[in-house]
């Protein structure tokens, strides 16, 4: 279940020109909404500052001021988004703050055409409906209904498709994803085995290592890594007892040595599975010996 | 067999020629751990370069560093591909995958300068797109003309229609009840008020009309009907407006008054409608492709049409703001209006000939 949920939020099999598929995590609706709100707040905040500065200094005659403000109001709508995404490679200021970005859905670089197309559609998807919602008091019943249908249609589109594309994204062929972030954690097979000079030796027979597959190995890896702050440390005794029972390990494991046992088991199991992998035998999980259904 | 592999592994352990900096532990290494130890230096270097390019832009890298970025990027991609087959270290796979994703985004960034982009758009992109859009343009202009004819005919039948079509703030005081003299004065406005708020008025129109054009365009995605309806409605207003002046015997004067900027402005609205029609046609008649693919294909030309419409509206706002008040003679107004129209036409029909292949450059792709 949890794996299926993860799949829905990720864009798998994204193929850059090098031909090695990579994956991105698709930005959540919340993040995109936040970025949009930030952008609107920033741009209109700029206008308000501008007006305030001009009124207090009185540098310009009233007509010129009005003209300048009108020009700016025009520029902070579609042109701002186009220029920002062009200059910062698919990120407006709001998107930068939230940590999301626009990418080309086809694994090429983002083209200017795509940026222009997706932002022109913003007029129909965002600015006009919002303006209409503000003037809803002055509307007839039909107008209210029309506005409602419009807003609903625009909202449903990104919620209804798997890749969270709005209409503009579909026209342009773009996807909004989270900025990838990475930390290289140490290799468990390298960093863990030696702990003091009196290192207990555990020997595993091939029959011990034929039980589990990739999924169980990587789950063990997650457990063995230093726990995230605020989480309870895992009960190594319990885990090692379960593993000993499942694989039928005969030698005694003394209390206090559970951690060392798990490390040794991780290393042996990984070596075994990786070797099998080289010969084309990919054991995805512990059901690998079950008949194909 | 397994023993033989392990035996080989043991012999190779203990040295990493590529990265003397990385200490190699003296324990026996797994094949995948050795793979990682040997290459980790390259990945860290790529990570460093990517972080710098992300923070300060790729322009902050020197020539050699940029080359290094490209090389280490390909190496990391290669490592990822190999690691997926030989390693089960989740931390390593996740790291490499995100590192490659970040490097990909830095390496494959838009490379066009804004100046070059605009130049190519004006010299070839837009005129070529217009020449490819005969049917949508026909739809756009047809909507406007049909609207205007209907508005005129309805108005001459019953002047009451005027109040239905024309929004009060647009009509101002210019209603069918107004006197001929007043109407004439709005056409040949030499009153001082108008001149003073000139700049403000034109910049208002400039943003207002451009927004309408963008709206007409983007509504086209809903099967082109809203675009057609909005343009038709614009035509209705125009027809009724013209009819109101025409029945008072001011037909020629108002025609000249509308021509000076209207040729550009109304054509721009028709062109925006044509852009919308292209999107709508893609959804209605996708042909062999899926609707989404058709939409994406048509969007290339549609976007260029709407950029053209926006440019023309900017030009129209300037003409309206300055020339219309300065030029009072109807003959001159006609000459300027239609002369500018002819210039637009010449540009759109003649520019970018012989270089049809250039349009494909804008589609992107290709190696960095």
Q: Is A222 in the B-facing interface, judged by CB distances under 8 Å? A: yes
Q: Which residues in chain B are closer than 8 Å to A6, comparing Cβ atoms?
A: none
pLDDT for residue B201:
53
Q: Which residues in chain B are closer than 8 Å to A63, comparing Cβ atoms?
A: 196-200
Which residues, numbered 137 to 166 in chain A, qualify as contacts with chain B under a Cβ-Cβ cut-off of 8 Å?
A: none
Q: Which residues in chain B are closer than 8 Å to A111, comparing Cβ atoms?
A: 110, 362-364
Note whether A86 contacts B114, CB cutoff 8 Å.
yes
CA–CA gap between residue B280 and residue B284 (Å, rounded): 6
Question: What parts of chain A have a pLDDT lower than 50?
Answer: 1-6, 193-197, 292-293
Last residue of a domain, one of A144, A178, A212: A178
Helices B225-247 and B134-157 cross at an angle (nearest 10°) of: 40
Q: Is A289 a domain residue?
A: no
| A167 lies in the same domain as A246 | no
Q: Is A144 a domain residue?
A: yes
Structure tokens at B153: 């005919």
Note whether A77 contacts B33, CB cutoff 8 Å.
no
| Domain region containing A214 | 188-278
Q: Which residues in chain A are closer than 8 Å to B108, comparing Cβ atoms?
A: 16-17, 108-110
> How far A182 CA lies from chain B's nearest CA (Å)?
6
Return the bridge partners of A11, or none: A24
> How far B23 CA lies from chain A's nearest CA (Å)?
11
Among the partner-chain residues B30, B211, B299, the one whose CB lies closest to the CB of A117 is: B299
Q: Is A204 a domain residue?
A: yes
DSSP symbols for B272-306: HHHHHHHHHHHHH--TTS-HHHHHHHHHHHHHHHH
CA–CA gap between residue A174 and residue A113 (Å, rounded): 11
pLDDT for residue A13:
78
| A201 lies in the same domain as A166 | no
Structure tokens at B20: 């003397």
A129-151 burial, b if ≥16 CB within 10 A, otherwise e?
beebeeeeeeeeeeeeeebeebe
Among the partner-chain residues B98, B211, B295, the one whose CB lies closest to the CB of A170 is: B295
| A155 lies in the same domain as A196 | no
Among the partner-chain residues A71, A101, A277, the one whose CB lies closest to the CB of B86 is: A277
CA R_g for chain A: 29
Q: Which residues in chain A are closer than 8 Å to B88, comparing Cβ atoms?
A: 214, 217-218, 270, 273-274, 277
CB B218 within 8 A of CB A120: yes
DSSP class of A137: G
| A136 lies in the same domain as A200 | no
> How far B267 CA lies from chain A's nearest CA (Å)?
20
| A140 lies in the same domain as A80 | yes
| A192 lies in the same domain as A217 | yes
pLDDT for residue B21:
47
pLDDT for residue B12:
43
| A167 lies in the same domain as A214 | no
Structure tokens at B308: 């053209």
Q: Is A113 in the B-facing interface, judged by CB distances under 8 Å? A: yes
Q: Is A52 left (phi over 0), alpha (psi -120 to 50) or beta?
A: alpha
Last residue of a domain, one of A121, A149, A178: A178
Q: Is A18 in the B-facing interface, judged by CB distances under 8 Å? A: yes
Q: Which residues in chain B are closer than 8 Å to A189, comparing Cβ atoms?
A: 29-30, 32-33, 89
| A24 lies in the same domain as A68 | yes
Q: Is A257 a domain residue?
A: yes
A225-249 burial, b if ≥16 CB within 10 A, otherwise e?
eeeeeeeeeeebeebbeebbeebeb
Last residue of a domain, one of A178, A207, A236: A178
Q: Is A291 a domain residue?
A: no
CB pairs under 8 A between A and B: 200
Q: Which residues in chain B are closer than 8 Å to A271, comparing Cβ atoms?
A: 30-31
- Mean pLDDT, 10 residues at a time, over chain B (368 residues)? 44 43 56 86 91 84 91 92 86 88 87 81 86 88 90 84 72 69 69 49 61 77 81 85 81 81 85 88 85 83 86 80 72 86 89 58 37
> Is the C-alpha dihedral spanning B213, B218, B224, B225 positive or negative?
negative
Note whether A20 contacts B100, CB cutoff 8 Å.
yes
Kindly identify which residue of chain B lies nearest to residue A84, measuring between CA atoms.
Answer: B114
pLDDT for residue B179:
73
CA–CA gap between residue B40 and residue B16 (Å, rounded): 11
Q: Is A216 a domain residue?
A: yes
SS3 A104: strand
CA–CA gap between residue B59 and residue A204 (Å, rounded): 54
pLDDT for residue A128:
78
Note whether B77 contacts A18, CB cutoff 8 Å.
yes
| A209 lies in the same domain as A162 | no
Note whether A67 contacts B203, CB cutoff 8 Å.
yes
Q: Is A292 a domain residue?
A: no
pLDDT for residue B1:
40
Note whether B5 contacts A278, CB cutoff 8 Å.
yes
| A257 lies in the same domain as A205 | yes
Among the partner-chain residues A101, A171, A278, the one whose CB lies closest to the CB of B299 is: A171
pLDDT digits (tens, 9 = 90+) for A103-149: 998 888 888 888 988 888 888 788 878 877 887 777 777 778 888 88
């Amino acid at each position: 279940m949890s794996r299926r949920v993860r799949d829905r939020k990720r864009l798998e099999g994204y193929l850059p020109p090098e031909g090695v598929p990579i994956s991105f995590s698709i930005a959540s609706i919340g993040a995109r909404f936040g970025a949009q709100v930030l952008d609107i707040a920033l741009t209109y905040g700029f206008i308000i500052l501008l007006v305030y500065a001009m009124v207090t200094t009185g540098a310009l005659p009233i007509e010129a001021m009005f003209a300048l403000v009108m020009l700016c109001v025009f520029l902070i709508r579609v042109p701002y988004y186009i220029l920002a995404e062009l200059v910062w490679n698919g990120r407006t200021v709001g998107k930068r703050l939230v940590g999301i970005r626009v990418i080309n859905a086809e694994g090429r670089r983002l083209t200017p055409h795509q940026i222009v197309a997706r932002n022109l559609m913003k007029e129909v998807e965002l600015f006009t409906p919002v303006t209409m919602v503000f003037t809803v008091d002055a509307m007839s019943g039909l107008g209210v209904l029309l506005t409602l249908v419009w807003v609903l249609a625009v909202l449903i589109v990104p919620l209804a498709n798997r890749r969270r594309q709005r209409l503009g994204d579909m026209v342009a062929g773009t996807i909004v994803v989270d900025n990838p972030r990475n930390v290289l954690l140490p290799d468990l097979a390298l960093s863990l085995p030696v702990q003091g000079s009196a290192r207990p030796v555990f020997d595993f027979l091939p029959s011990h290592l034929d039980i589990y597959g990739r999924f169980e190995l990587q789950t063990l890896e997650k457990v063995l890594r230093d726990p995230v702050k605020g989480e309870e440390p895992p009960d190594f005794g319990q885990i090692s007892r379960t593993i000993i029972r499942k694989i039928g390990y005969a030698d005694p494991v003394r209390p206090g040595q559970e951690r060392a046992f798990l490390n040794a088991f991780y290393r042996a199991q990984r070596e075994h599975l990786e070797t099998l992998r080289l010969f084309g035998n990919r054991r995805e999980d512990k059901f690998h010996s079950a008949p194909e259904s | 067999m397994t023993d033989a592999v392990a035996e080989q592994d043991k012999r190779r352990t203990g040295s990493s020629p590529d990265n003397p900096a990385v200490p190699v532990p003296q324990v026996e290494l797994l094949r995948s751990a050795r793979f990682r130890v040997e290459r980790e230096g390259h990945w860290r270097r790529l990570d460093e370069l990517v972080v710098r390019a992300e923070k300060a832009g790729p322009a902050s890298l020197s020539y050699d560093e940029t080359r290094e970025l490209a090389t280490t990027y390909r190496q990391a991609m290669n490592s990822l591909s190999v690691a997926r087959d030989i390693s089960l270290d989740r931390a390593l796979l996740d790291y490499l995958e995100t590192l490659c994703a970040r490097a990909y985004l830095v390496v494959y960034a838009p490379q066009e300068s804004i100046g070059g982009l605009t130049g190519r758009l004006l010299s070839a992109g837009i005129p070529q797109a217009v020449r490819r859009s005969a049917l949508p343009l026909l739809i756009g202009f047809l909507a406007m003309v049909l609207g205007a004819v209907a508005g005129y005919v309805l108005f001459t039948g019953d002047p009451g229609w005027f109040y239905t079509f024309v929004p009060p703030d647009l009509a101002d005081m210019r209603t069918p009840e107004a006197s001929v003299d007043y109407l004439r004065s709005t056409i040949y406005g030499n009153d001082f008020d108008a001149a003073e708020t000139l700049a403000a008025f034109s910049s208002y129109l400039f943003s207002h009309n451009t927004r309408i054009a963008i709206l007409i365009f983007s509504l086209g995605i809903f099967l082109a009907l809203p675009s057609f309806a909005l343009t038709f409605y614009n035509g209705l207003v125009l027809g009724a407006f013209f009819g109101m002046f025409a029945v008072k015997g001011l037909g020629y004067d108002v025609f000249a008054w509308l021509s000076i900027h209207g040729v550009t402005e109304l054509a721009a609205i028709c062109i925006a409608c044509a852009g919308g029609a292209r999107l709508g046609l893609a959804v209605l008649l996708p042909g062999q492709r899926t609707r989404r693919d058709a939409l994406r294909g048509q969007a290339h030309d549609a976007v260029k049409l709407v950029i053209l419409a926006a440019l023309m509206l900017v030009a129209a706002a300037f003409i309206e703001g300055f020339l219309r008040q300065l030029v009072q003679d109807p003959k001159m107004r006609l000459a300027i209006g239609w002369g500018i129209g002819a210039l637009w036409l010449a540009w759109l029909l003649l520019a970018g000939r012989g270089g049809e292949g250039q349009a494909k450059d804008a589609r992107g792709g290709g190696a960095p």
